Chains A and B, each alone.
Chain A
């Protein structure tokens, strides 16, 4: 009985400490993305947009978004449309929350420009932007990039089918040719980076540099000014060459590893053969 009493007394001392520890543990180990807390806050948007109350046209939006570059980069509904992803009443019911369901055709660039600031600025100075703002007729962002299933941009977005909807393809072709050299280099570097990442190399800094350079270059393109793009091609080519040099260093390091490992392979093979010959003697 004495031992039981002692044990109970001991446990009564332990429990409060344990409770504190549990709270701390909960905060440090459970309430984290890797502890089960969501990273992409889908919230109520997805609930409604996949339910029967939604119009048929809007039901496909979640699926399209999940296939987009935005989803991959963890950009969620409220990042573009505003509102509160945890409360449908605040999100969809009141304009005070900043929620914009379907923006007006003219206002789309500002919606995308919340993140793509440089591109918005250049777009507004372009013929496309001016036409949109003055007559409400020019192409906006979704004309070329799509609305929810937005894919990673490439030079192939410029094509005769898309451009000839509004004007002849001649000017667009000249632009595509001007972009070609730099875009080709960007694609090559991206492919090399993907390969190196698959080998486990740390390419974060190079990726960031490439992303920055690509984004800057594509910002210029949104002015739709062929002469400006041509003038900047040299500058961006040399920036990409610097990135290529950094990447080459990583490739060389991996080549060294292969050679070193091959050296050990040869060494062990020779030692194995010597042991075998020794036994035969």
Chain B
């Protein structure tokens, strides 16, 4: 029966030929490793977030009077609601971890160099979109943690002179974090951002398909000088995408799921604090409140630099540099180990980020 259905489809769209050409006969470079699978795992993580999010959307009520109780219902009264929400919370944090690792790996392997500048550009924008997902999603449970973290985060733009106050008010929909902010964030989280993200994912996948896997064995000179599309690079001495590399994808996907369920089983509150179980109270500021861990580094930087405007300016410049990096680093050499200055800067940047994140905890 199944083979009949397959044949029916194959006869019309040439599925067998597509699989043979794009998977079995497509060879990935021999220097790909498990690290190269992080992009695919990120995609799986996105899908898990989307599916669990749709489930939560069925029961969530985006109103300050009901948001917290609807989350409580999901966690306690809806059958297996706790499972979907736990997956959504843990998944969001794991997604950030994988994204960070993916970016670090792509940078290390110089995967942003010609002809892959657009891959980096779309990826960098997607990273920002994911951060916006996190910010908007964080408020939705309407807990003390979400309310006050959002209050801190939305007050950061006020540092900017002139327009800062306006930006902050625009984000919050008023002077304080209120029901208006909740509605606004909800709309962004479930409608506006997913639409942009899906478009960017499709574009990113399309670009990867057209430019192929990056390898250190690519001849950088040829790539740099090419004025016409060179076609997807062929690595005849590499490994077939299917089944060799596809197996690696599967392995890493299971590692992701294992880590996720390890946390849900043994440390379900790892990414939450006690304030995550208390309804938001605008007049009762908790003693210890800080943004989620992935925002701790920029948060610490702003705290550390006495001149707040300088602090936020540095961050905006770093952010811009991050986005346009492929157009800044135009050297031919792809192997970062042969570029000690860049390697040094890269290592220092990671160490500073880790230090600021840990420091932000205190």
Contact partners of B82 in chain A: CB under 8 A: 257
Contact partners of B65 in chain A: CB under 8 A: 32
Q: Residue-by-residue, is A248-281 near B (CB-CB < 8 Å gives 1, otherwise 0)?
A: 0000000001101110110011011001101100
Contact partners of B86 in chain A: CB under 8 A: 261
Count residues on chain A whose CB falls below 8 Å from chain B CBs: 33
- The reply to whether B178 and A279 contact each other, CB–CB distance below 8 Å, is no
Contact partners of B268 in chain A: CB under 8 A: 199, 261
> Taking the complex as formed, is B188 at the interface, i.e. its CB lies under 8 A from any CB of chain A?
no
Q: How far is the CA of A47 from the CA of B52 in the complex (A)?
A: 49
Q: How far is the CA of A262 from the CA of B65 in the complex (A)?
A: 35
> Taking the complex as formed, is B14 at the interface, i.e. its CB lies under 8 A from any CB of chain A?
no
Contact partners of A202 in chain B: CB under 8 A: 72, 75-77
A270 — nearest CB in chain B belongs to which residue?
B254
CB distance from B264 to the nearest CB of A (A): 5
Given contacts A197-B277, A275-B247, contact A29 B265 (CB under 8 A): no
Contact partners of A34 in chain B: CB under 8 A: 64, 142, 178-179, 280, 282
Q: How far is the CA of A272 from the CA of B276 in the complex (A)?
A: 33
- The reply to whether A200 and B72 contact each other, CB–CB distance below 8 Å, is yes
> Taking the complex as formed, is A16 at the interface, i.e. its CB lies under 8 A from any CB of chain B?
no
CB distance from B112 to the nearest CB of A (A): 29
Q: List CB contacts (< 8 Å) of B109-159 with chain A.
A: 142
Given contacts A199-B269, A268-B257, A268-B261, contact A261 B83 (CB under 8 A): yes
Contact partners of B254 in chain A: CB under 8 A: 268-269, 271-272, 275
- The reply to whether A198 and B64 contact each other, CB–CB distance below 8 Å, is no
Contact partners of B280 in chain A: CB under 8 A: 34
Interface SS of B by simple majority: helix
CB distance from A62 to the nearest CB of B (A): 15
- The reply to whether B250 and A33 contact each other, CB–CB distance below 8 Å, is no
- The reply to whether A33 and B83 contact each other, CB–CB distance below 8 Å, is no
In the complex, how many residue pairs between chain A and chain B have their CB atoms under 8 Å apart?
Answer: 97
- The reply to whether B251 and A276 contact each other, CB–CB distance below 8 Å, is yes
Q: How far is the CA of A260 from the CA of B75 in the complex (A)?
A: 15
> Taking the complex as formed, is A95 at the interface, i.e. its CB lies under 8 A from any CB of chain B?
no
Contact partners of B329 in chain A: CB under 8 A: none
Contact partners of B281 in chain A: CB under 8 A: 33, 39
Count residues on chain B whose CB falls below 8 Å from chain A CBs: 40
> Taking the complex as formed, is B176 at the interface, i.e. its CB lies under 8 A from any CB of chain A?
yes
A201 — nearest CB in chain B belongs to which residue?
B76
> Taking the complex as formed, is A157 at the interface, i.e. its CB lies under 8 A from any CB of chain B?
no
CB distance from A207 to the nearest CB of B (A): 13
Contact partners of B72 in chain A: CB under 8 A: 200, 202
CB distance from A4 to the nearest CB of B (A): 27
Q: Residue-by-residue, is B264-280 near A (CB-CB < 8 Å gives 1, otherwise 0)?
A: 11001100001011001
> Taking the complex as formed, is B283 at the interface, i.e. its CB lies under 8 A from any CB of chain A?
yes
> Taking the complex as formed, is A38 at the interface, i.e. its CB lies under 8 A from any CB of chain B?
yes
Contact partners of A260 in chain B: CB under 8 A: 83
Contact partners of A40 in chain B: CB under 8 A: 283
Q: How far is the CA of A25 from the CA of B83 in the complex (A)?
A: 36
Q: How far is the CA of A29 from the CA of B62 in the complex (A)?
A: 12
> Taking the complex as formed, is B22 at the interface, i.e. its CB lies under 8 A from any CB of chain A?
no
CB distance from A192 to the nearest CB of B (A): 15
CB distance from A197 to the nearest CB of B (A): 6
CB distance from A268 to the nearest CB of B (A): 4
Q: Out of B75, B255, B261, B269, which one reaches A198, CB within 8 Å?
A: B269
A264 — nearest CB in chain B belongs to which residue?
B261
- The reply to whether B75 and A200 contact each other, CB–CB distance below 8 Å, is yes
CB distance from B281 to the nearest CB of A (A): 7
Q: How far is the CA of A36 from the CA of B178 in the complex (A)?
A: 7
- Of the candidates A32, A199, A275, the one having the most CB atoms from chain B within 10 angstroms of its own CB is A275
Q: How far is the CA of A59 from the CA of B265 in the complex (A)?
A: 51
> Taking the complex as formed, is A35 at the interface, i.e. its CB lies under 8 A from any CB of chain B?
yes
CB distance from A231 to the nearest CB of B (A): 38
Q: How far is the CA of A258 from the CA of B72 in the complex (A)?
A: 18
Q: How far is the CA of A269 from the CA of B258 in the complex (A)?
A: 6
- Of the candidates B243, B258, B274, the one having the most CB atoms from chain A within 10 angstroms of its own CB is B258
CB distance from B142 to the nearest CB of A (A): 8
Given contacts A33-B283, A261-B265, contact A268 B250 (CB under 8 A): no
- The reply to whether B247 and A30 contact each other, CB–CB distance below 8 Å, is no
Q: Residue-by-residue, is A26-57 near B (CB-CB < 8 Å gives 1, otherwise 0)?
A: 00111011111011100000000000000000
Contact partners of A269 in chain B: CB under 8 A: 254, 258
Q: Residue-by-residue, is A3-36 near B (CB-CB < 8 Å gives 1, otherwise 0)?
A: 0000000000000000000000100111011111
Q: How far is the CA of A199 from the CA of B175 in the complex (A)?
A: 33
- The reply to whether B178 and A30 contact each other, CB–CB distance below 8 Å, is yes
CB distance from B91 to the nearest CB of A (A): 13
Contact partners of B327 in chain A: CB under 8 A: none
Q: Residue-by-residue, is B236-270 near A (CB-CB < 8 Å gives 1, otherwise 0)?
A: 00000001100110110011011001101100110
Contact partners of A32 in chain B: CB under 8 A: 64-65, 178-179
Q: How far is the CA of A276 from the CA of B247 in the complex (A)?
A: 8
Q: How far is the CA of A265 from the CA of B276 in the complex (A)?
A: 25
CB distance from B313 to the nearest CB of A (A): 31
Q: Out of A30, A197, A278, which one reaches B180, CB within 8 Å?
A: A30
If A35-B178, A261-B86 are given as contacts, then 7 extra A-B residue pairs at C-beta distance below 8 Å, sorted by A number, are A36-B176, A39-B283, A200-B72, A202-B76, A258-B265, A265-B258, A268-B258
Instruction: For the complex of A and B, list the 4 residue pairs with the smallest distance between their C-beta atoms, beginning with the closest.
Output: A272-B254, A265-B261, A279-B247, A261-B265
A-B contact pairs, 9 of them (CB 8 A): A34-B178, A201-B75, A261-B83, A265-B258, A265-B265, A268-B257, A269-B258, A272-B257, A275-B247
Question: Which of A's residues lie within 8 Å of B, judged by CB?
Answer: 25, 28-30, 32-36, 38-40, 197-202, 257-258, 260-262, 264-265, 268-269, 271-272, 275-276, 278-279
